[in-house]
Structure 1
Amino acid sequence: MSRAHVDVRTLRTDAGVGCEAIESLAEETPVALLYNGHPHAVMMATPSDLEDFAIGFSLSEGIVDVPADVRVVDIVHGADGISLQMHVPQRAFDALPGRDRSLVGRTGCGLCGSETLAQAIRPVPRVEGLPVAGDRLRDLFLALQARQPLNALTGAVHAAGVVDAYGQLHVREDVGRHNAIDKAIGAVLRRGARPRELLVTSRASYEVVHKAATVGIGLVAAISAPTALAVRLAQLAGLTLVGFARDERHTLYAGPGQDFL
């Protein structure tokens, strides 16, 4: 079984004085996603919460419409990486873009492997945007920060938190921010709940907004800035987009009845 981190011996130098130290490093492993026995994508990811990853990726990428349409058949650990073997209905498999080739992505890559512009940015669905409450947003980010054990240990991973319709916060970590999002979405969906809000410890790029809207999330909040394309997509989707959510501060970029671009 793969571990999410490894311990290595290092030589640490501070003010010219060196000493040996043991440090924990986040693991990064090729994870192949196969549908109906056919390779679809290889992502560099942290090898943890892989069933959450499989479900979240399949839904947020629009490969299936409901969690019941994807089944994790096997998780195979090999010398070269990990294979996530899934089964989807034939109609979903037939609709897979580029199913005659395997897409190779960097760590949490958003566009890697896209063959055409149409594949790169799919139409964004409409969702119901949610209001922003500053105190609640601050408390959610404090809770997210407190539930990042791998980052506390290694300092090298992103986290995503998804609040479900019952108000529960589900947190997942990964070396790739998109992978962390997929894992957190998958964690909610595997429990039969509906995702409503997404918190990310990164910038809000277009694919963060796109993944959120695809699964019906109405609010995305990031600790850093969004991109202009992310704002435009949020407006098209009707989604509430917040950036620079830190301590008492946040900036609203898109939301119901708002048009800043």
Structure 2
Amino acid sequence: MADGARPFALREHFSDGSPSRDIKRALVEEAPVAIEINGLGYAVMMATPTDLEDYALGFCLSEQLVTTAGEMASVQAAPVEARGWVLRIQLNVANAAPLIERVRLRLAEGSCGLCGIESLEQVMRPLAPVRSTLDVKPEAIFRAVGTLGDRQVLGKVTRAAHAAALCQADGTIVLVREDVGRHNALDKLLGAAARERIPIADHFILLTARCSFELVQKAVIAGVPLLATISAASTLAVEQAAAHGLRLVSLARHDSFLGIAT
């Protein structure tokens, strides 16, 4: 059984009138993960409790609380009596100021009209444009799409996990992380790459997900030169990718994909 999956007893039914039958099937794990940073409650995410150290770092990178793995002092993940997990993250003192300000904004969200406007501005905050000009040929994207299935250990067992893959310019996959949530899978991948000191600017990312604004935002913050997704992109995802110099590919298949027209 793959990490992140557990067997469940289920009953299978058929449309042709055949008798139903009892089966055991692996289901992907989903659990609440409470994220505490420097002793402050920051967020509760629904996630697959695997690769949590990678997730902790990737989450902090995406939240712009840190810029490198060295700015994180420690990470401790612990189960909480069948209720979920707590992820205790300790950042170096120099990173405490942005953390406290972000917690203040989170606590203020929705409390009044003005705070709502502040929250919208935070979501749509300007980001530094992607600087990398990595040359990725269409054949490289087709190669990555064609080989990703063999690297999806949890996905093959459960058919219910998203995958995020870090790929070289020629389409060779070097890292894969999986999770029930597409955002979590990407954070885990970004954290794993940072921990292994793999330069993001020299790689592109392939996701088994629709391309939403949040995924584009995470990719831009990380400096990803190209983001490819198996499913379609949203309007805001396309607009934000174009505005920040991120090359975006959607509906990526083994023989075709969609890119932003230029």
What is the TM-score with the length of structure 1 in the denominator?
Answer: 0.86
Corresponding residue of 1:216: 223
Range with greater deviation from structure 2 (116-125 or 48-57) = 116-125
1:247 aligns with one of 233, 240, 254: 254
- Number of equivalent positions: 244
> Quick one: distance in 2 between partners of 1:114 and 1:56?
27
With over 3 angstroms needed to count, the CA separation of the structure-2 counterparts of 1:165 and 1:70, relative to structure 1, is farther
1:92 has 2:99 as partner: no
Equivalent residues of 2:53, 2:75 under 8 A apart: no
| Bigger-Rg structure (1/2) | 2
Q: Which residue of 2 aligns with 1:173?
A: 178
What amino acid maps onto 2:95 in structure 1? A
Correspondence 1:162-201 to 2 at 5 A: 162-163=166-167, 169-195=174-200, 196-201=203-208
The answer to whether the 8 Å contact 2:140/2:169 transfers is no
* Cα displacement (A) at 1:121: 2.4
Return the letter of the residue paired with 2:211.
A
Deviations along 1:134-180, whole A, 9 cap, x unmatched? 21111111222211111111111111112368965210110100000
Identity %: 37
Residue 148 of structure 2 aligns with which residue? 144
Query: Greater shift after overlay, 175-184 or 155-164?
Result: 155-164
Aligned to 1:10: 10
CA distance in 1, matches of 2:197, 2:211: 26
Partners of 1:61 and 1:163 lie apart in 2 by 23
Secondary structure in 2 aligned to 1:122? coil
- Structure 1 residue 221: Cα displacement: 0.5
Per-residue displacement from partner, 1:60-104 (whole Å, max 9, x unpaired)?
Answer: 22111222111333112112211111111334222124425877x
Q: Are the equivalent residues in 1 in contact too, given 2:165–2:173 (CA < 8 A)?
A: no
Q: Following superposition of structure 1 onto structure 2, how do residues 13-32 of structure 1 map, counting pairs within 5 Å?
A: 13-14=13-14, 15-16=16-17, 17-32=19-34
How far apart in 2 are the matches of 1:171 and 1:26? 16
Match of 2:246, as an amino acid?
L
Which residue pairs with 2:110 in the alignment?
Answer: none
RMSD between aligned residues: 2.2
Partner of 2:64: 62
- Give the drift of 1:198: 1.1
> d(CA) in 2 for partners of 1:114 and 1:73?
33
Query: Does 2:138 align with 1:134?
Result: yes
Mapped contact 2:56–2:75 kept (Cα < 8 A): no
Structure 2: segments with no counterpart, 5+ residues: 108-115
- Give the equivalent residue in structure 1 for 2:113: none
Q: 1:150 to 1:23 in 2, by over 3 A?
A: same
Report the CA distance between 1:29 and its aligned residue: 0.6
1:49 CA displacement? 0.5
**Are 2:42 and 2:103, in contact at CA under 8 Å, matched by a contact in 1?**
yes
| TM-score normalised to structure 2 length | 0.86
Does the residue aligned with 2:257 lie in a helix, a strand or coil?
A: strand
By how many angstroms is 1:124 displaced? 2.2
Which consecutive unaligned segments of at least 5 residues does structure 1 have?
104-112
Partner residue in 2 for 1:118: 121
Check whether the contact 1:165–1:194 (CA below 8 A) recurs between aligned residues: no
Q: Which moved more, 1:149-158 or 1:125-134?
A: 125-134
Superposed, 1:30-109 pairs within 5 Å as: 30-79=32-81, 80-96=83-99, 97-100=101-104
- Letter of the 1:177 partner, please give it: R
Q: Show the counterpart of 1:106.
A: none
| Change over 3 Å in CA distance of 1:188–1:121 after alignment to 2 | same
Contact kept, 8 Å, 2:136 with 2:169, in 1: the verdict is: no
> Does the 8 Å CA contact 1:11/1:21 hold for their aligned counterparts?
yes
